Amino acid sequence: MVQPRRRFARTLRVNEVVHESLADELERLSDPRLAMVTLTGVDVSPDLRHATVYYSALGRQDEATLAALQAAAPHLRRVLGREVRLKYLPLLHFREDPAIERGQRVEEILRGLHRHDRAPGEHQQ
């Protein structure tokens, strides 16, 4: 008996296609508030009606970035509708990627530990 493909693989493919489409269009936008913004991932809901778009704004954490993404959402959705064939065109919800902040925090801790472990007379290489 042939096993049906898992929905999980389909969800991953949908997430990736939506991510690529949105990231490509984001690069084309001329809004200066989005100049250093990177889309890091997308989670489309199983019913395809909502998509959480994760982003990172290099060197800053401000509400202007979120406001710019929300303002661009209708345009991004239209482009998504033209480029990706889905049963429903998902509403876009933007969230700052928590992994980026956690990674920076871990890096700070490691640097602090490294400084603490060195003896006062040792030199950096």
The pLDDT score that the predictor gives to residue 26 is: 95
The reply to whether 61 falls in a domain is yes
**Domains of the chain: total:** 1
Secondary structure (DSSP) of 24-85: HHHHH---GGGTTEEEEEEEE-TTSSEEEEEEEETT---HHHHHHHHHHHHHHHHHHHHH--
Flag whether 124 is in a domain.
no
Instruction: Please report the pLDDT score of residue 3 as a whole number.
Output: 52
Q: Is residue 123 part of a domain?
A: no
Any idea what DSSP says for residue 90?
Answer: P
Q: Give me the domain span that covers residue 81.
A: 7-97
Q: What is the CATH number of the domain that holds 50?
A: 3.30.300.20
pLDDT at 28: 94
Can you tell me the distance from the alpha carbon of 116 to that of 13, in angstroms, rounded to the nearest whole number? 45
Is 106 contained in some domain? Answer: no
In a domain, 18, yes or no: yes
Model's pTM, two decimal places?
0.75
